[in-house]
Amino acid sequence: GENVEQHPSTLSVQEGDSAVIKCTYSDSASNYFPWYKQELGKGPQLIIDIRSNVGEKKDQRIAVTLNKTAKHFSLHITETQPEDSAVYFCAASNNARSKLTFGKGITLSVRP
């Protein structure tokens, strides 16, 4: 089955700097890659996703890039703010029964 690795496990950046979170996946048939943000005591919130027919997608300060050859995708957050501090999960799906396989999550801390 699919295996999603996420690294690093923690990331600390200064407010205003950029943050990059990387994930790798194992199943070359995977074609959907969402990113979720989870704040303390809340459910994961879908923040951006990308499908395999696209190499990059942007939404304001957030962007995701996909390299299908290398089987990795990354979340880029620019001009980080303290409210960006949260746990971020990447996931992948090969469209089989819409099953998502999640990475282990990364804790992002933005220092004011």
Partner 1 sequence: DTAVSQTPKYLVTQMGNDKSIKCEQNLGHDTMYWYKQDSKKFLKIMFSYNNKELIINETVPNRFSPKSPDKAHLNLHINSLELGDSAVYFCASSQGMESDLYEQYFGPGTRLTVT
Q: Which residues bind partner 1 (CB under 8 A)?
A: 31-32, 34, 36, 38, 41-46, 49, 51, 87, 89, 93, 95, 97-102, 104-105
Shortest Cβ 78–partner 1 spacing (Å)? 23
CA 48 to each of CA 7, 30, 91: distance values in angstroms, whole numbers, following the listed order: 18, 17, 11
Which pairs with CB-CB distance under 8 Å and at least 24 residues apart come from 46-54? 48/75
Among residues 41 and 112, whose Cβ is nearest to partner 1?
A: 41
Query: CB of 10 within 8 A of CB of 107?
Result: yes
Residue (67 or 95) nearer to partner 1, CB:
95
Distance in Å, CB of 82 to partner 1, minimum? 20
Would strands 62-67 and 106-111 be described as parallel, antiparallel, or unpaired?
Answer: unpaired
The residue among 52 and 65 lying less far from partner 1, judged by its C-beta, is 52
